């Protein structure tokens, strides 16, 4: 038997869905307008910039940005065409592929970051009280951890 959502649960769920989609659309629009990067491109560049040697196995990068391998491959090809990322075979095994952030990618990321952070503040951080931000962060950490366990 289906356990339907209560009106309060339904309100919270729909607010989460609508707010999340609106936030991601606003952040994507800002990045594309100001930096000619998509939000997905920006996430990839950030992950690579934070990795040792600015490089990650493609499989680890896909997991980190919550993307399918095929979608990530397509995005990396576009970033390669713009000379922001390069792919190379893994030295550990011949089957793996490494994505590495280039100096051009780092330059573009550094140019994009201030506007992106300002947009995150304007559309997200500054709208919430410190208590709301803490509660939302804790809730999203629980959801992420539960998702990690479902993937195992």
Report yes or no on 82 lying in a domain.
yes
CATH of the domain at 110: 1.10.10.10
Q: Is 109 inside any structural domain?
A: yes
Please give the Cα distance from 144 to 33 (Å, whole number): 30
12: in domain: no
Structural domain count, the chain: 1
Is 36 a domain residue? yes
96 within some domain? yes
pTM over 0.75? The answer is yes
Q: What single string gives the DSSP state of each residue in 77-116?
A: HHHHHTTSEEEEE-SS-SS-EEEEE-HHHHHHHHHHHHHH
Structural domain contains residue 120: yes
Q: What does the pLDDT look like over 62-118, one tens digit per residue? A: 998 888 888 999 999 999 999 999 999 988 777 789 999 999 999 999 999 999 999
23 domain residue, yes or no: yes
Instruction: For residue 11, tell me if it sits in a domain.
Output: no
Domain that holds residue 136: 17-151
Digit-coded pLDDT (tens) for 10-25: 999 999 999 999 999 9
- Tell me, what's the pLDDT at 110? 98
Please list the residues that pair with 87 across neighbouring strands. Answer: 99
Q: What is the pLDDT of residue 95?
A: 78
């Amino acid at each position: 038997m289906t356990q339907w959502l209560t009106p309060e649960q339904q309100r919270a769920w729909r607010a989460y869905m609508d707010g999340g989609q609106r936030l991601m659309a606003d952040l994507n629009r800002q990045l594309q307008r100001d930096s000619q990067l998509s939000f997905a491109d920006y996430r990839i560049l950030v992950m690579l910039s934070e990795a040792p040697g600015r490089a990650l196995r493609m499989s680890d990068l896909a997991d980190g940005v919550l993307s399918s391998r095929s979608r990530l491959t397509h995005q990396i090809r576009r970033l390669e065409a713009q000379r922001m990322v390069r792919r190379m075979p893994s030295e550990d095994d011949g089957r793996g592929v490494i994505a590495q952030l280039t100096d051009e990618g780092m330059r573009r990321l550094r140019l994009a970051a201030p506007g992106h952070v300002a947009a995150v503040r304007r559309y997200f951080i500054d709208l919430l009280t410190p208590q709301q931000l803490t509660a939302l962060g804790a809730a999203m950490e629980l959801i992420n951890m539960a998702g990690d366990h479902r993937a195992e």
